[in-house]
Amino acid sequence: MAAQPNIGLLHRMIYVAAGIGLMMYGFQVAEADWLRVAMPIGGAILLIQGIIGWCGTVAMFRRDAQSK
């Protein structure tokens, strides 16, 4: 079963841009060793979420408009 997209196009573009930015920061700018590892991992997670259009946090906390 494929994941159904739960984030819109604008948010997907923001996720992709933020993911690329975090990865670039981690690879090129970060001086602390733990940031050189943490930033690319966080960036990769955002990048993947932006590409596939599905976010687990949004799936957990978004309320369904039909349930009101």
Angle of helix 33-52 versus helix 9-24 axis, rounded to 10: 160
Tens of pLDDT, residues 26-37: 999 999 999 999
**pTM of the entire structure?**
0.82
Tens of pLDDT, residues 4-51: 889 999 999 999 999 999 999 999 999 999 999 999 999 999 999 999
Contact in structure between 19 and 7 (CB atoms under 8 Å): no
